[in-house]
């Protein structure tokens, strides 16, 4: 049995594409045959809704899991369109920020809860809220790595150093498994000179921590959530959808996932090498 690789999609800025990345990377990995769980850690519940799960109708959510009144197995639901499981969130989760404070292991509750299902998945992707809150800390403590979506804009690099420091601190004090997996350039428009410049700066500064795949600005990705499905499923031929599938491939390769596990889609049996004679 394989054990899930767990990633936070994080950036303390809002509107940089965290949720879009979480949804479409989940759908992209699922389309390649990997078993995926999406965890929505943002009380806005956008990743839940964008996966086609109505946050207002959730019987159990990540809130119940953090407060240990439900297990992940009890609270997860299926994104039929996305082909992955969802541990959903809604406004109730905002209360957890306060309710967790006096509780034991308050930063490690998600990690503990995920242990019970890590054999069920190849990837767990956690959509973090735009802050370095206790919810984000729960995500960072549960994860093996952080994926940072970012727009190539003037202030992008400035915000990045805060996040890199947080990852270092969590690594040093709370979770020695945690590493920065990579930076994903998203909503990219190569016609804008500034974006090309910032992209070059990023590569100069972070080297191969910058993913090769670039997600273009693509209106189909922005439209998809209102139809309750990932962009990858809503319009698979669109440039944004194809970029996310390419990104899913790059992630799996970068992690060497292909070496330790195989997607559930059947692969043709190798030809046996018959000896002559």
Place of tokens 């240990």: 68
Taking CB under 6 A as the criterion, the residue among 17, 28, 83, 182 binding ligand ADP is 17
For residues 33 and 130, which CB has a smaller minimum distance to ligand ADP in the complex?
130
Q: Residues 184-203 vs ligand ADP: string with x where CB under 6 A? A: --xx----------------
Tokens at 152, concatenated: 């190539």
Do residues 264 and 84 make contact, with C-beta atoms less than 8 angstroms apart? Answer: no
Rounded least distance, CB 40 to ligand ADP, Å: 11
Of 9-17, 62-70, 101-109, 135-143, the window that binds ligand ADP (rule: CB under 6 A) is 9-17
Work out whether strand 77-79 and strand 84-87 pair parallel, antiparallel, or are unpaired: antiparallel
For residues 50 and 145, which CB has a smaller minimum distance to Mg ion in the complex?
50
Cα 150 to Cα 36: distance, rounded to the nearest angstrom = 23
Interaction partner, residue 129 (ligand ADP, Mg ion, none; CB < 5-8 Å by kind): none
**45: phi > 0 → left, psi -120 to 50 → alpha, else beta; which?**
left
Taking CB under 6 A as the criterion, the residue among 8, 12, 18, 89 binding ligand ADP is 18
DSSP 269: P
Rounded least distance, CB 36 to ligand ADP, Å: 17
Rounded least distance, CB 184 to ligand ADP, Å: 10
Residue 191 CB coordination number (10 Å): 7
Rounded least distance, CB 18 to ligand ADP, Å: 3
Rounded least distance, CB 265 to ligand ADP, Å: 27
Q: Whose CA is closest to 20, among 255, 261, 238? A: 238
Which 3 state secondary structure label does DSSP give 6?
strand
Q: Whose CA is closest to 149, among 49, 47, 81? A: 47
Query: Residue 59 burial (CB < 10 Å; 0-12/13-18/19+)?
Result: exposed
Interaction partner, residue 236 (ligand ADP, Mg ion, none; CB < 5-8 Å by kind): none
Tokens at 34, concatenated: 């990997």
Q: Residues 5-34 vs Mg ion: string with x where CB under 5 A? A: -------------xx---------------
222 binds ligand ADP (CB under 6 A): yes
Rounded least distance, CB 44 to ligand ADP, Å: 8
Cα 94 to Cα 97: distance, rounded to the nearest angstrom = 6
Place of tokens 């299902």: 117
Q: Which of residues 105-134 bind ligand ADP (CB under 6 A)?
A: 130
Tokens at 50, concatenated: 């964008």
Q: Residues 44-63 vs ligand ADP: string with x where CB under 6 A? A: --x-----------------
User: H or E segment at 249?
Assistant: helix 239-254
For residues 124 and 148, which CB has a smaller minimum distance to ligand ADP in the complex?
148
Instruction: Please report, as ranges, the residues that interact with Mg ion according to CB under 5 A.
Output: 18-19
Instruction: Please report, as ranges, the residues that interact with ligand ADP according to CB under 6 A.
Output: 14-20, 46, 130, 186-187, 215, 217-218, 221-222, 240
């Amino acid at each position: 049995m394989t054990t899930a690789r767990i990633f936070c999609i994080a950036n303390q800025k809002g509107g940089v594409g965290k949720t879009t990345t979480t949804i479409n990377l989940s759908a992209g990995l699922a389309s390649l045959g990997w078993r995926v769980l999406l965890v929505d850690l943002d009380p806005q519940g956008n990743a839940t809704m964008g996966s086609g799960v109505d946050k207002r109708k959730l019987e159990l959510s990540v809130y119940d899991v953090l407060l240990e009144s439900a297990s992940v197995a009890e609270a997860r639901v299926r994104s039929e369109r996305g082909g992955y499981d969802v541990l959903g969130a809604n406004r109730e989760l905002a209360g957890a920020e306060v309710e967790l404070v006096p509780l034991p292991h308050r930063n490690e509750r998600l990690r503990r809860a995920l242990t019970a299902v890590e054999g069920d998945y190849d990837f767990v992707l956690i959509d973090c809220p735009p802050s370095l809150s206790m919810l984000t800390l729960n995500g960072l403590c549960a994860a093996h790595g952080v994926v940072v979506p970012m727009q190539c804009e003037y202030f992008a690099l400035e915000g990045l150093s805060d996040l890199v420091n947080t990852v270092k601190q969590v690594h040093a004090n709370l979770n020695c498994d945690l590493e920065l997996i990579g930076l994903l350039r998203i909503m990219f428009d190569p016609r804008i000179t500034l974006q090309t410049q910032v992209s070059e700066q990023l590569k100069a500064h972070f080297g191969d921590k910058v993913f090769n795949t670039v997600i273009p600005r693509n209106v189909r990705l922005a439209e998809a959530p209102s139809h309750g499905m990932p962009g990858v499923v809503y319009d698979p031929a669109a440039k944004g959808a194809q970029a996310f599938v390419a990104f899913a491939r790059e992630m799996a390769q970068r992690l060497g996932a292909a070496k330790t596990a195989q997607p559930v889609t059947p692969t043709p049996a190798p030809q046996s090498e018959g000896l002559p004679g």
